[in-house]
């Protein structure tokens, strides 16, 4: 069984499935195996993990079990704050390859603009030129981080993975990314499943008009903005619904109504300051476990 997906091209021509499957906080063995196995069966080929998630090995096992050729998958991982720096990043990358049991990674990102990210980028540029990474990019970078990185790099970041949802559409950053030919990828595309968002009357009305779920409407809104999405679910029904997004289209008026839901509310903390300090790193490791 396979469902339709669309591909977006990075600036170097590498094609990325627009709908991926996120595995953040999906760590319990049985739940992980069931969710990822079902996602692969349905037709997901783009999977997003990270060192700090603690499940790279589990993802590698499920991909091996599928018996589907490696080249049909698009796998993303990320280097964590404590591994930033030239040598540390190269070592972290090799460990990720070992965990996933892969010779190359389709996309590798700097997880946050923490100290050492310029040196980390230099390592990633070399790994990219060696063919070990197909797409290099960043996550949780704001405009000032991107500006600094591009001043000190030979290769500009090809993608930025950032919190994006109807209440926090990242309009200014979205426009900046488009201007600089950097793809926009959304984490928490469904607002981390916030109940208030799913009860929103505007979204419920649009969903009813299209005979779709509110989640599908939100994800379709991202798709029509040209954003790559990585929704996560352990529910087989929702896993399937989250990729069934190409049999309907939102009108310009509906897109406008959804854009008006912008409140500037993040469901996570700002990536500057709090997100890159040592206390956060310790808390994050505890939380992921």
The pLDDT of residue 288 is 46
The pLDDT of residue 285 is 52
Residues sharing a CB contact under 8 Å with residue 138, sequence separation 6 or more, in sequence order:
109, 110, 113, 117, 145, 146, 149, 157, 159, 160, 161
Set 44, 53, 108, 117: catalytic member: 53
Residue 1 in this model has a pLDDT that exceeds 80 = no
* Alpha carbon separation from 130 to 49, 126, 135 (Å, rounded): 22, 6, 12
- Whether 176 is a known active-site residue: answer no
What interhelical angle do 56-66 and 86-100 show, nearest 10?
Answer: 40
Beta bridge partners of 76: 48, 107
Residue 276 in this model has a pLDDT that exceeds 70 = no
Residue 191 in this model has a pLDDT that exceeds 90 = yes
Residue 115 in this model has a pLDDT that exceeds 80 = yes
The pLDDT of residue 289 is 44
Asked if residues 122 and 86 have their Cβ atoms less than 8 Å apart, the reply is yes
CA terminus-to-terminus distance, the chain: 33
Q: What is the mean pLDDT of the chain?
A: 93
Q: What average pLDDT does this structure show over 132-160? A: 98
What ranges do the domains of the chain cover?
Answer: 11-288
Residue 145 in this model has a pLDDT that exceeds 70 = yes
Integer Cα distance of 8 and 36 in angstroms? 22
The pLDDT of residue 30 is 85
**Percent of all residues in the chain with a pLDDT value above 70, rounded to a whole number:** 93
Residue 142 in this model has a pLDDT that exceeds 80 = yes
The pLDDT of residue 255 is 98
Query: Given pLDDT bands bounded at 50, 70 and 90, which one contains residue 177?
Result: very high
Residue 194 in this model has a pLDDT that exceeds 50 = yes
pLDDT digits (tens, 9 = 90+) for 61-81: 999 999 999 999 999 999 999
Residue 287 in this model has a pLDDT that exceeds 50 = no
Q: Indicate the DSSP class of residue 51.
A: G
Q: Which of 182, 222, 161 is nearest to 19 (CA)?
A: 222
pTM: 0.94
Residue 243 in this model has a pLDDT that exceeds 70 = yes
Q: What ranges make up the beta strands (E) of the chain?
A: 7-9, 15-17, 21-22, 46-48, 74-79, 105-110, 133-139, 159-163, 183-187, 228-229
The pLDDT of residue 4 is 75
- Pair type for strands 228-229 and 21-22: unpaired
For the domain bounded by 11-288, which CATH number is listed? 3.20.20.100
The pLDDT of residue 28 is 83
Q: What ranges make up the beta strands (E) of 26-144?
A: 46-48, 74-79, 105-110, 133-139
Beta bridge partners of 33: none
Asked if residues 138 and 160 have their Cβ atoms less than 8 Å apart, the reply is yes
Rounded to the nearest 5 degrees, what angle is found at the Cα of 272, between the Cα atoms of 164 and 228? Answer: 25
pLDDT digits (tens, 9 = 90+) for 7-19: 999 999 999 999 9
Beta bridge partners of 74: 46
pLDDT digits (tens, 9 = 90+) for 24-64: 999 887 899 999 999 999 999 999 999 999 999 999 999 99
What is the enclosing helix (H) or strand (E) of 29?
Answer: helix 29-42
Q: What average pLDDT does this structure show over 218-242? A: 97
**Percent of all residues in the chain with a pLDDT value above 90, rounded to a whole number:** 87
The pLDDT of residue 272 is 77
């Amino acid at each position: 069984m396979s469902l339709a997906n669309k591909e977006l091209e990075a600036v170097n021509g590498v094609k990325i499935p627009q709908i991926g499957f996120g595995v953040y906080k999906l760590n319990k063995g049985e739940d992980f195996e069931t969710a990822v196995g079902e996602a692969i069966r349905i037709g997901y080929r783009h999977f997003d993990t990270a060192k700090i998630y603690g499940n790279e090995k589990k993802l590698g096992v499920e991909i091996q079990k599928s018996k589907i050729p490696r080249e049909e998958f698009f796998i993303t991982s990320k280097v964590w704050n404590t591994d930033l720096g030239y040598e540390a990043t190269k070592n972290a990358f090799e460990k990720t390859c070992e965990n996933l049991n892969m010779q190359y990674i389709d996309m590798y990102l700097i997880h946050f603009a923490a100290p050492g990210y310029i040196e980390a980028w230099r390592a990633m540029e070399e790994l990219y030129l060696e063919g070990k990474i197909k797409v290099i990019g960043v996550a949780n970078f704001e405009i000032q981080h991107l500006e600094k990185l591009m001043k000190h790099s030979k290769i500009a970041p090809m993608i930025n993975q950032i919190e994006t949802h109807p209440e926090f559409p990242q309009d200014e950053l979205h426009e900046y990314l488009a201007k600089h030919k950097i793809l926009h990828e959304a984490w928490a595309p469904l607002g981390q499943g916030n109940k208030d968002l799913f009860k929103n009357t505007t979204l419920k009305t649009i969903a009813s008009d299209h005979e779709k779920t509110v989640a599908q409407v939100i994800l379709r809104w991202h798709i029509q903005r040209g954003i790559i999405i990585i929704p996560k679910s352990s529910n087989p029904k929702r896993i399937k619904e989250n990729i069934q997004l190409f049999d309907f289209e939102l009108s310009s008026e509906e897109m406008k109504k959804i854009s008006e839901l912008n409140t500037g509310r993040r469901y996570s903390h700002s990536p500057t300051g709090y997100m890159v300090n040592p206390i956060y790193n310790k808390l994050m490791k505890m939380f992921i476990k």
